[in-house]
Amino acid sequence: MRKVLAFDLGGTKFAFGVVAEDGTVLGSGRVETLAQNGPDQAVKRVATAAHELLLKLNLKSSDLLGIGIASPGPLDIARGCVDGSPNLPGWTGYSIEGELSKAFGLPARIDNDTNAAALGEYLFGAGKGRKNLVYITISTGIGGGAIVDGRLMRGANGNAAELGHITLDIKGPACPCGGNGCFEMYASGTAIARRTREALAHGTTSSILSLAGKVENVTTHHVLQALAQNDPLAKKIWDETTEYLGRGLAVIIDVFNPEIIVVGGGVTAAGDVLFKPMREKALRYAFPRLAAVCSIVPAGLGGDVGVVGAAACAFEASR
Ligand SMILES: [Zn+2]
């Protein structure tokens, strides 16, 4: 079975693995990124660890099809590097793609991590074989990726489908991207917590406060706990959250006409209490002909999504 080497770069951890063409992770590991020390050290460290993994698996570079790299964006895919990523200061202009390619003598391809996750869910996960698929992740931020007619939509410079920055309200709160009222300013885990803290700061009483201890400690998890106890503020916050998600997903449905939207990220641990209202609202607000063919499902790859997504990029590049 064909195999690839996959790297999943993050601000704190640099994970890697050998992945077979059925999506099985044959071996994996991780090193510290130590991002502040610059890219050269980190890439050398991860390459050494990956060479050791190949030895352990009794594989040579020549047994592999290529290298896939999932990286935080934004990217400059022409140069194979990150381009102003806030978690990787000083990495702009360094060709991660070129250096890893050289280290193993294999072709390499870099994609942003949510685009890689979209490809992973398409090749191996919850949307396997569904040629028009959108992936979104709802965690500290909201990210996305789109498969259009069976190909990953990379865009002009590799940054397509920044779905977290769809504008929901032109008068909304300022977003670090420079815009206002972006989707992720309302519906990410960070935003859910911020909206809850704002309500509590205005004096609303709620069991969320006793669960969290103090206002500054409030997270989405506390909102969900209070929701299970029928707390009125938690219910209000959650209804608003699924409303924002429904509005955002409806835009996504109208743009991409997907047959499936795969939703991952920490907030999806909420399960049905999230998916049921989010799905119902998204399909209600989207253009009916497009809503009629779209299903909205939880992601399938779980914690492997980083490495498996990166591997999916290598498999796609080899097609
Ligand atoms: Zn934004």
Nearest CA-CA partner of 265 in 288, 231, 298? 298
- Tens place of pLDDT for every residue, the chain, 319 residues? 999 999 999 999 999 999 999 999 999 999 999 999 999 999 999 999 999 999 999 999 999 999 999 999 999 999 999 998 888 989 999 999 999 999 999 999 999 999 999 999 999 999 999 999 999 999 999 999 999 999 999 999 889 999 999 999 999 999 999 999 999 999 999 999 999 999 999 888 899 999 999 999 999 999 999 999 999 999 999 999 999 999 999 999 999 999 999 999 999 999 999 999 999 999 999 999 999 999 999 999 988 999 999 999 999 999 8
Alpha-carbon distances, residue 83 vs 71, 72, 117, 281, 308 (angstroms): 11, 10, 19, 36, 23
Nearest CA-CA partner of 285 in 241, 246, 234, 239? 246
Please give the pLDDT value at position 86: 85
Ligand 1 centre distance from Cα of residue 3 (Å)? 37
Q: Rounded CA gap, 257 and 245, in Å?
A: 17
Same domain for 135 and 117, yes or no, is: no
Ligand 1 centre distance from Cα of residue 170 (Å)? 11
Ligand 1 centre distance from Cα of residue 175 (Å)? 5
pLDDT, tens digit, 9 for 90 and up, residues 128-151:
999 999 999 999 999 999 999 999
Q: Is residue 186 in some structural domain?
A: yes
Same domain for 268 and 157, yes or no, is: yes
Please give the pLDDT value at position 204: 87
Q: Is residue 304 in some structural domain?
A: no
CATH code, domain carrying 204: 3.30.420.40
Ligand 1 centre distance from Cα of residue 15 (Å)? 27
Q: Rounded CA gap, 249 and 282, in Å?
A: 5
Q: Rounded CA gap, 181 and 162, in Å?
A: 14
Same domain for 258 and 274, yes or no, is: yes
**Is the N-terminal amide bond of 277 cis, ω within 30° of 0?**
no
Q: What residue numbers bound the domain in which 204 lies?
A: 129-299
Same domain for 258 and 185, yes or no, is: yes
Give the per-residue SS3 of 119-144: HHHHHCCCCCCCCCEEEEEECCCEEE
Neighbour order of strands in the sheet with 142-148: 151-152, 142-148, 133-138, 260-264, 295-298
Ligand 1 centre distance from Cα of residue 317 (Å)? 30
Ligand 1 centre distance from Cα of residue 183 (Å)? 7
Q: Rounded CA gap, 68 and 16, in Å?
A: 10
Q: How many structural domains does the chain have?
A: 2
Same domain for 116 and 135, yes or no, is: no
Ligand 1 centre distance from Cα of residue 26 (Å)? 37
Straight-line distance from the first to the last Cα atom of the chain, in angstroms, rounded to the nearest whole number: 15
